[in-house]
Structure 1
Amino acid sequence: MSIVKRAVGRLVHRGWAYMREAAAISPGSTGGYRFRSLGEGACIAFPVGAIFGEAWIEIGAHTLVGERVSISAGMGPGVDLGPASIVRIGRGCSIGRGSHIVGHQSIDIGDDVFTGPYVYITDQNHVYDDPDTPIGRQWPRNKPVVIGSGSWLGTGAIILPGTRIGRQSVVAGGAVVRGEFPDHSVIAGVPAKVVRTHSPELGWHNPSGLRLSGPLTAPRPPAESLTWTDRLS
């Protein structure tokens, strides 16, 4: 490799690193003022995904939203969605790159929730009640979603409308989740079920006798203790 090519490469990498830092959305940046709330130390990494309806989105302090994460409130930009917020992400969370959070009625993500990349969370479903009308033209239904504090959502997990996940729970990668799940649940499968739970008497145990197919990712440390590079990995 020539000296010139190496020098150009260094300049490109330094420029890209500077652009990532300068273009990230933070409470003090121009883009940050569009949100209903963007807490101290929060950051939406560059490149930014599709984000609209910021006036109905709250993001807590020290939460990192990874690269190319899409967060939306409502059907599209410029729609008045009323006085209340719709998407609420707590403090100290880490949302993995390429994830989508699509809110129309209410999505509550608690504090210290971590997700792997490409997680999909929505409170709206298309319906197929009328067999003669294209499904995409039928009016969808909304149902609130709640994800309890301290939970971990594995890569590619899908959280569907009406889901309520308790505190300190684990959702396995690729799970398709609908329904209500208690605190301290390990949720896996398609459709997802509780495969492990915790009680003071038994500790972590399998309530159904089913065997897990593989190890689960260990919980990550608090967001405040991680570097941005760690939290994006």
Structure 2
Amino acid sequence: MSFKQYIDERPALKQFVHWLLIPHNQAKPRRWVSWFVNPFVHKLHRTAIIRSRVRLDVLPFNAFSLGAHSIIDDFGVINNGVGPVHIGDNTLVGIGGVVIGPVNIGSKVIMAQHVVLSGLNHSYENVQLPIRDQRVTMRPIIVEDECWIGANVTITAGVTIGRHSVVAGGSVVTRDVPPYTVVGGNPARILKHYDQETDQWLKGASLTIPLVPAA
């Protein structure tokens, strides 16, 4: 039995350990965790850059990794409290970007300003309980290599953005995006798609590929 399993099976101990790591009703870890635990647990490449005004709500019991030459710009938020966050090599999380795990971002991805990726949702079905007191659900977000995510985009839980795809600024993505595709709008729809046979980006009436509902 792992140490994590041992704690998970003992609710009182789990609650105490949680209190040691995070103040009650907060997401930001205690300073001793940020200073003396996280640097030895999480995998941050020596060439990666996390700007000084980034908020790292990362904890040791879920993974967080940042690849070579990747940057998390000022006013960004990274949260792995309910699921891991992995960011590949040569990737930019732009100013004010919010990444709430579980999220896996590939390499050579561009995320412009104020992009929100959240793999977390709150249950709401029980009308006898405030929503904040109901359980959370998690569905991983995947952004594959070479994508460009425009400013003010929201990507919802469970969505996969295929390789070398573009999400236009201001879009809300609720369904999977095929590779080599341009999407935009709220909810996002396909605007262009690369056709390998003709070596062209097709748009408008030429498109026959539907967006796939997120798993």
**TM-score, normalised by the number of residues in structure 1:** 0.67
Structure 2 CA distance for aligned equivalents of residues 44 and 174 of structure 1: 25
**1:44 and 2:50 correspond:** yes
Kindly tell me: are residues 136 and 64 of structure 1, through their superposed partners in 2, closer, same or farther at Cα, counting changes over 3 Å? same
Whether the 8 Å contact between 1:71 and 1:101 is mirrored in structure 2 is yes
* Residue identity opposite 1:60 in structure 2: G
* Partner secondary structure for residue 190 of structure 1: coil
Identify the residue that residue 218 of structure 1 maps to in structure 2: none
Whether the 8 Å contact between 1:50 and 1:68 is mirrored in structure 2 is no
CA apart distance, 1:183: 0.6
* Residue identity opposite 1:65 in structure 2: I
Identify the residue that residue 147 of structure 2 maps to in structure 1: 151
Structure 2 CA distance for aligned equivalents of residues 115 and 35 of structure 1: 26
After superposition, residues 100-139 of structure 1 pair within 5 angstroms as 100-103=98-101, 106-139=102-135
Whether the 8 Å contact between 2:181 and 2:194 is mirrored in structure 1 is yes
Comparing both chains, which one has the higher relative contact order based on Cα–Cα distances under 8 Å and sequence gaps of 6 or more? Answer: 1
Q: Which residues of structure 1 form unaligned runs of 5+?
A: 1-28, 76-80, 211-233
Structure 1 CA distance for aligned equivalents of residues 128 and 191 of structure 2: 39
Identify the residue that residue 68 of structure 1 maps to in structure 2: 75
After superposition, residues 220-231 of structure 1 pair within 5 angstroms as none
**TM-score, normalised by the number of residues in structure 2:** 0.72
Across the aligned residues of Structure 1 and Structure 2, the Cα RMSD in angstroms comes to 2.3
Structure 1 CA distance for aligned equivalents of residues 184 and 51 of structure 2: 29
Kindly tell me: are residues 74 and 30 of structure 1, through their superposed partners in 2, closer, same or farther at Cα, counting changes over 3 Å? closer
Structure 2 CA distance for aligned equivalents of residues 68 and 39 of structure 1: 20
Identify the residue that residue 95 of structure 1 maps to in structure 2: 93
- How many residue pairs get aligned? The number is 171
* Partner secondary structure for residue 55 of structure 2: coil
**1:205 and 2:197 correspond:** no
Identify the residue that residue 172 of structure 1 maps to in structure 2: 168
CA apart distance, 1:46: 1.7
Q: Which residues of structure 2 form unaligned runs of 5+?
A: 1-34, 208-215
